[in-house]
Structure 1
Amino acid sequence: MIGTLKRMMTWCAPFKKRLYVGFLFSFINAIFIIIPVALTGYVMKMILMQMADEYAITLEDVLFVLALTVLSVIGRYVFTYLRSAYQDMIGYEVATQKRLELGNNLKNVPLSFLQKHPTGSLTSAVSTDLQFIEMHGIKMLDTIVNGYVSSILFLLIMGFYNWVIALISVIGLLGSYFFLNRISQKSKQNAEEYQRSRNVMTSATLEFVRGIPFVKSFKLDGLANEKLHHAFEKAKNINIKIETDFVGPNQAHLITLKITSIFIVMSSSLMALEGMLELPTMVMFIILSFTMFRGVEVMNDAMHILKVIDETFDKLEQIELSSKLRDEVKDIEVPNHTIRFSNVSFQYGSEKVLKDLSFTIPENQTTAFVGPSGSGKSTICHLIARFYDIQEGVITIGNVDIQTMSAESLLKNISIVFQKVYLFNDTIYNNISFGKPDATYKEVVEAAKKARCHDFIIKLPNGYNTIVGEAGATLSGGEKQRISIARSIIKDAPIIILDEATASMDPENEHLIQEAILELVHGKTAIMIAHRLKTIQHADQIIVLNKGETVQQGNHDKLLSEEGMYRQLVESRKKVETWTLKGDGNYE
């Protein structure tokens, strides 16, 4: 518990002044809670003294008691409000900061991290996990701190009047703490499984929603529902287990406090009968016995929630401290845009993908990479953009090692057009200007014209203000690809990477995209990956890869005149492009 509280305090460090002021207000609030109890004893003492003709209650006494009672009521409301005003917003403010930090971290982690962590886990971390902390963290922190602070205050008052009653209270609190600790231990055992089940449930739900068209087309409703049902069932079971494990220690914790209250009542009454305790003090102790443990009683939920929060902290820290790209980087301006690979080797896990590669991509020229699937073409593009860090060798741009460059200074020089285009659920205008946020309307339209997408955009009902839907769902594949090219054109980066940008285009869209690509790469250092001959034959340089190694290098005419893999690939491609389906269902 103490460790989790420390983590919470560290988490709230930017707002620690407000946090501590909130604790002070909680302490003052506890004093105002005690005032009516103390007044009860005081009033009873005056009544007994008057009955014994030892004192005469005056109007001033009545007004004094009334004033203190009103003050205590007002004080409780005022300081409860002040505590809430100072503390309750901290969770939301810190969670917002953490979400932004996580976003920045996720921008800089290597793709291997994203491949190891399912989308559901990362989505859960940024949304539901942080939401859980922002909604419950500060409240639970205040519940525990205020619970023990108010109990200590009550104990000091009891100890001032009678140390025996105070000792009984201490024993009761220690017994309660033992069972609260059991709740904490049980919650710790279940928290990891709870977190895992929630991640699985989120991932299964996202996968189900995204795969609905596929599920329907293959009539796999039962299989998909079974997987989703299993995730929900697992989440239900762990929640039931949490509740089951919680009941026993929780009831023991509450019973311990109630028994302690009974012992305080009995002891106070016996001591009063023996003349060891004044009647007003006995009444005060009896009232205190039913109020002093209220702050501790509600700690049962807090102990459980804190352990879930602790597990959530572990998960968030794992993301924050994940294997980021190296931090010893600077904002560097490169003198030119010639790219060199020098003895570069790279592997995914234990699988070596690139083996001691060395080549140069000259500035302002187009270099195409060809080779069989799995030869390392896309990996090279990912390494240039530093989506991964290499294990051996050096990659330079303008003779500057890219591993010494910050992500911003590197990527401002690079635009990438992927085969699988991603558009944001926003307007076409904003999707294009994403490449240059301060672009004018004229610049956006000019980029769209160069990318051959202006004509179809202006035919849409809202033109450039048309919302494209999630991942561009309202547009065709060719339309999305041309918008992504417009986005790269407006960015005007000196290095262009085309990773299978025309791989799955239909003939109607292909010529438009080819024209858009020519506009995009004009005067740039271009890296192109493509299988189609017409896409690569005019490249200044073609590098042929096989199993992570360079096997040929030259232009189209040179490579075609040589015996080797390039000629084989071209001939195979020509055969594929001339295939036709015969009437009997066979190919020729």
Structure 2
Amino acid sequence: MFHSIKRILHLSGEYKSKVKKGILLGILESIFSCAPLLFMLFFIRDMINDELTVSNILIYTVTFAISILIQFILHYRETAAISSVGYEVIAQKRKDIAVFLKKIPMGDFVGKSLGEINAIVTNELTQIELYAMQLVSKVISSITILVITIVFLGILNIPMTIAFFIGFPISFVINKVSHKMYIKSANTKIEAESYLINNTVEYTQGVATVKAYNNGRNHSERMKGVFKEFANKTIKADAKVIPLLQGYALFMYLGFGVVLSLGTYLLMNNKIDFSVFLMFAVIGVHIYQPFEILSSYSGTLKAMEVSLDRLEYLMKFSPLKEPKEDVRADNFSVEYQDVTFGYTKEPIIRNLSFKAGENTTTAIVGASGSGKTTLIQLMMRFWDIDKGNIKIGGRNIYDYKIETLMKYISVVFQDNYLFNDTVYNNIIYGNENAKKEDVIRAAELACCHEFINKLPNGYDTMVGEGGSTLSGGERQRIAIARAIIKDSPIIILDEATSGVDPINEVEIQKAISELIKGKTVFTIAHKFSSITDADQILVLDQGQLREKGTHEELTKKDGIYRSLWERQLGVNKWTIRSN
């Protein structure tokens, strides 16, 4: 329990002093909440001894009222100090995670489901956000009340105080077992929740395919099964713990019967005062409540430890190494020197070397799986290479801070992601310091200003998650506008016109022409007709650089590029024969 509290306090970071202040106020509140025990003892003794007077009653009443008032003030200040801390801590933690994830190699997330990561960042942190800080305060307050009560009763009569806890050895064992069950139950529920989220996300993302293949009924039945499985696992996990909690309470409350029997015996033999017997009889009903509360909180803390474990699991990945001192590039030539990289032990890129001069265009071609996209992503440090060097402006990319490196590079992917925000905010995402006229200018250069003005709210139109309300060509041009306004010296085009219709392709090519002016450009393309003017073409095959040269040079050789060019040229000359 105290280990859990220590972990939560560690999580609170810069807010730790605020949490400690709340805990201290909670302890003081607990002390004053025990004051009625003392007043009750004096009142009972005065009443039994026929010494109860109006002045005594007045003193007890006023003192009791003052203690309640102080307790109320302390409770108010404790709540004010600690109630918002959970939200502040987790808000900061979510910011830290967002920054942290940007610095993690993409490879660390290969094989991780979206549901698993989403459950950690949202649900797990929400549980901590809602309950962690309050639990810490309540647990320590309950312990304080328990200690004061036991000390108070022990002063009155030690044997009867000990008798309260005669069933605790068995309760303790049951409690230990229940804690293990809590952890197992929490893990089961979290795994079921991750599976549920993952399947729900998959279903919503694939709903177009479901409709297209008229398979909605089968998919709906599958989702019903997923929901039912989640409910069954959650119910079964909780059901296993409930009997243990009941057993814990049963053996704990056995002590109260022993106290009454022992107290009766001592009273009949004049070994205790009747007032003491009454105190034990009255307090005995309530003495177990802190234990029940602690047991309940303890189980919740154990479940929360699972959430903390999963959070730490997410945060354990090693971020990409950055230099202490940042540098700036003098020029924007790019050089690969004997670069080798593999997602696993098997290399994808093997001993690859080339140089792209500043303000030149380098096209990368090859069969699917030859390593084209991987080669470019290594420059952006989506992964770190195994061997060799990659240099920008003559400096190793490891000499630049990640933020600086990414300022130098803009990417237009084949399938660009737009945020569920306005068109304006999606464009300005490339440069948040840009002015409105800069956004409009970028949109004009990207050939999307005209269609944006036709949208319901123009630049203030929401585009939906992933840009779902726009066509593929429209999304692509907005992404190019975003890259134009970022104005990075290195441009990467990853099959930027693949899969778009001819009309959109013409508009996108115009936008790309504006984007790449005066830049160092890398383009991955399947349509060789778009790269005939490239300063150099790299031909990859199974992660190795097989050929390098201009279009004219490579078509004169009897090699891979010429073969691919002739095949594509032949396809382009196909005609439909009519009889």
Q: TM-score, normalised by structure 1?
A: 0.94
Task: Give the equivalent residue in structure 2 for 1:288.
Answer: 283
Q: Is the 8 A contact 2:34 2:145 kept in 1?
A: no
Alignment of 1:400-415 (within 5 A): 400-415=395-410
On the 8 A contact 1:457/1:463 being kept in 2, the answer is yes
Tell me by how many angstroms 1:162 deviates: 1.3
Name the SS of the counterpart of 2:129 in structure 1.
helix
Contact 1:143 1:295 in 2 (8 A): no
Write the mapping of 1:470-489 to structure 2, written as runs, cut at 5 A. 470-489=465-484
Q: Secondary structure at the match of 1:389?
A: coil
* Other-structure match for 1:555: 550
Other-structure match for 1:30: 30
Q: CA deviation at 1:205?
A: 0.7
State which of 229, 232, 248 in structure 1 corresponds to 2:227: 232
In structure 1, the residue matched to 2:329 is 334
Residue 319 of structure 1 pairs with residue 314 of structure 2: yes
* Deviation (angstroms), 1:331: 2.4
Structure 2 counterparts to residues 246-261 of structure 1, below 5 A = 246-261=241-256
How far apart, in 2, do the equivalents of 1:226 and 1:106 lie?
35
Whole-angstrom distance in 2 between the partners of 1:346 and 1:110? 13
- Pair 1:387-2:379 in alignment: no
Contact 1:499 1:528 in 2 (8 A): yes
Letter of the 2:384 counterpart: D
| Matched-pair contact (CA < 8 Å) for 1:345–1:392 | yes
The one-letter amino acid of 1:288's match is: I
Partner of 1:157: 152
The 2-side partners of 1:392 and 1:565 are apart by: 26
Q: Is the aligned partner of 1:522 residue 2:517? A: yes
RMSD between aligned residues: 1.9
Task: Give the 3 Å change call, closer, same or farther, for CA 12–327 of structure 1 in structure 2.
Answer: same
**Distance apart, 1:376 and its partner CA:** 0.8
Match for residue 293 of structure 2 among 294, 298, 310: 298
1:41-94 C-alpha deviation (Å, 9 max, x unpaired): 2112112222xxxx4x43321211111232233333333222222222221111
SS of 1:298's equivalent in the other structure is helix
Q: How many angstroms does 1:328 deviate by?
A: 4.5
For 1:20, give the aligned amino acid.
K
Of residues 360-369 and 297-306 in structure 1, the stretch that sits farther from structure 2 once superposed is 297-306
For 1:427-446, list aligned pairs within 5 A: 427-446=422-441
Contact 1:183 1:303 (C-alpha < 8 Å) held by counterparts = no
* Cα pair 1:428 1:465 within 8 Å, conserved: yes
Q: Is residue 322–residue 402 contact of structure 2 (8 Å, CA) maintained in 1? A: no
Paired residue for 2:415, among 413, 417, 420? Answer: 420
Partner of residue 366, structure 2: 371
Look up the match of 2:41.
Answer: 41
CA drift of 1:35 comes to 2.1
3-state SS of the aligned residue for 2:430? coil
**CA distance 1:493–1:346, shift in 2 (3 Å):** same
Q: What's the counterpart of residue 526 of structure 2? A: 531
The 1:569–1:330 alpha-carbon spacing in structure 2 relative to 1, beyond 3 Å, is: farther
Give the residue type in structure 1 aligned to 2:265: L
Q: Displacement, 1:170?
A: 4.5
Q: Within 1, Cα distance between the matches of 2:155 and 2:524?
A: 83
Shift of residue 20, structure 1, vs aligned partner: 2.4
Is the contact made by 1:436 and 1:490 (CA closer than 8 Å) also made in structure 2?
A: yes
Structure 2's unaligned 5+ residue stretches are: none
386-395 vs 72-81, which moves further? 72-81
Partner of 2:63: 68
Q: Secondary structure at the match of 2:389?
A: strand
Q: Give the C-alpha shift of residue 528 in structure 1.
A: 0.5
* DSSP 3-state at the match of 2:164: helix
Q: What secondary structure sits across from 1:435 in the alignment?
A: coil
- CA displacement at 1:581 relative to structure 2: 5.7
TM-score, structure 2 normalization: 0.96
1:146 to 141, 144, 150: 141
Distance (whole Å) between structure 1 residues aligned to residue 246 and residue 322 of structure 2? 51
| SS of alignment partner, residue 336 of structure 1 | coil
Q: What is the letter of the counterpart of residue 45 of structure 1?
A: R
- C-alpha distance in 2 between matches for 1:581 and 1:458: 40
Does the Cα contact within 8 Å between 2:427 and 2:439 map onto a contact in 1? Answer: yes
| Contact 1:448 1:483 (8 Å CA) reproduced | yes
Instruction: State the alpha-carbon separation in 2 of the partners of residues 262 and 482 from structure 1.
Output: 79
Residues 286 and 20 (structure 1 numbering): CA distance in 2 closer, same or farther, change over 3 Å? Answer: farther
Deviation at 1:583, TM superposition (A): 7.8
Write the mapping of 1:156-195 to structure 2, written as runs, cut at 5 A: 156-173=151-168, 175-195=170-190
* Deviates further, 206-215 or 234-243: 234-243
Deviation of 1:9 (Å): 2.2
What's the counterpart of residue 80 of structure 2? 85
Closer, same or farther: CA 215–512 of 1 in aligned 2, 3 Å:
same
Conserved? CA contact 1:331–1:408, under 8 Å: no
Go from structure 1 to structure 2 and tell me whether the alpha carbon gap of 1:79 and 1:11 turns closer, same or farther (over 3 Å shift). Answer: same
Structure 1 CA distance, aligned partners of 2:504 and 2:559? 32
C-alpha displacement of 1:484: 0.5
Deviations 1:548-588 (A, max 9, x none): 1111111111111111111111111122333456689xxxx
Q: Which moved more, 1:251-260 or 1:548-557?
A: 251-260
Are the structure 2 counterparts of residues 92 and 582 from structure 1 closer, same or farther at C-alpha, using a change threshold of 3 Å? Answer: farther
Shift of 1:263: 2.3
Paired position in structure 2 for 1:16: 16
Contact 1:424 1:468 in 2 (8 A): yes
Tell me which amino acid in the other structure corresponds to 2:254: I
Decide whether the 8 Å contact of 2:419 with 2:426 is kept in 1.
yes
Instruction: Give, in angstroms, the shift of residue 545 of structure 1.
Output: 0.8
Taking every aligned residue pair, what percent have the same amino acid on both sides? 32
CA-to-partner distance for each residue in 1:218-269, whole Å, 9 max, x for gaps?
1222442344234323322321222222122201221123222232233233
Structure 1 residues 44-123: aligned runs within 5 Å: 44-50=44-50, 55=51, 57-123=52-118
Structure 1 position 357, deviation (Å)? 0.2
Find the partner of 2:541 among 541, 546, 558. Answer: 546
C-alpha separation between the residues in 1 aligned to 2:544 and 2:229?
Answer: 47
Distance 2:98 2:107 in 1: 16
What do the CA deviations read for 1:158-201 (whole angstroms, capped 9, x no partner)?
Answer: 11121112222354555544332221111122332222111111
Aligned-residue offset at 1:150: 1.4
Residues in 2 aligned to 1:172 and 1:498: alpha-carbon distance in whole angstroms: 73
Separation of aligned partners in 2, 1:4 and 1:272: 44
Show structure 1 runs of 5+ residues with no match: none
Q: CA deviation at 1:410?
A: 0.5
2:203 is the counterpart of 1:208: yes
For the Cα contact (< 8 Å) 1:144–1:296, is it kept in 2?
no
